[in-house]
Structure 1
C-alpha cells in the first residue's frame, strides 16, 4: 500500500516510476540495467538488506535515498552521508531530496 501511494504521488509530480522491486533479484536487475535518474531504497526488501543494490547505484553514479523505519541507525558506515527518509514518509522531504539530485545533475 505504501509503495502504491508513493508511486501515485511521484507520478503526479511528473516522475516515471520504475518498480517497485519486490525482491532482491528484481532490485539488483533494476539497479544494474534500468535507465533511471535516482532511486528510493527500503533497507529491507523481503527480509534481505538492500546494500548490494546501493553499491551498484553508487558505482553507476546514481543518487538514491534510503527510505526506512530504521532511520540512520540502519545504515552501514559507508552510507552515513546518504539521505534518509524515515517512515512514515514525508512527501515534501522526498521532493526536496529529488530536487537536489536535479540541481546536481545540471551542474555536472
Structure 2
C-alpha cells in the first residue's frame, strides 16, 4: 500500500525489503534517497540497518506501533511515525526526512 501510494505521488522507484540483510545488500549497491524502517523486519530488528544507513548518510525514520522504548538508545533521536498512520502523515514525515531533518547532524 505504501509502495503504491509513493509511486502514485511520482516516486521514481520504491523498493521493499523483507529482511535486514536484503536491505543492507540493496543499500550497498544502490543509491537510496530515504528509508522507512519498521523496528522489526522479517523477525529481526532493524538497528544494524539503521547503523548502515547512518554510515551512508541516508535519511530515514522509523514507522512502528511500538513507542520510543522499542528503539535502541543510539537511534532514539530519530523520528518515529506511529502506526497506524495516514497517507498525509507519511508524506509529512518523508518531506521532513528528505529535507534533512531525519539525518544525524
Q: Shorter-chain TM-score category?
A: 0.7 to 0.9
1:81 corresponds to 2:96: no
CA apart distance, 1:41 = 0.6
SS at match of 1:82: coil
Indicate if the aligned counterparts of 2:34 and 2:98 stay in contact, CA closer than 8 A.
Answer: no
Q: Size of the alignment, in residue pairs? A: 101
The C-alpha deviation readout for 1:1-38, integer Å capped at 9, x for no partner, is: xxxx0001111111133321112221111232221110
CA apart distance, 1:80 = 1.4
Poorly superposed stretches of 4+, deviation over 4 Å: none
Which stretch of structure 1 is more off in the superposition, 28-37 or 57-66?
28-37
In the other structure, the counterpart of 1:29 is 25
In the other structure, the counterpart of 1:59 is 55
User: TM-score, normalising length from structure 1?
Assistant: 0.82
- Of Structure 1 and Structure 2, which has the larger fraction of its residues in helix? 1
Unaligned runs of 5+ in 2: none
| Greater RCO (CA < 8 Å, at least 6 residues apart) | 2
Indicate if the aligned counterparts of 2:20 and 2:42 stay in contact, CA closer than 8 A.
Answer: yes
Unaligned runs of 5+ in 1: none
Distance 1:84 1:19 in 2: 20
CA apart distance, 1:96 = 1.2
The one of 69, 75, 97 equivalent to 2:65 is: 69
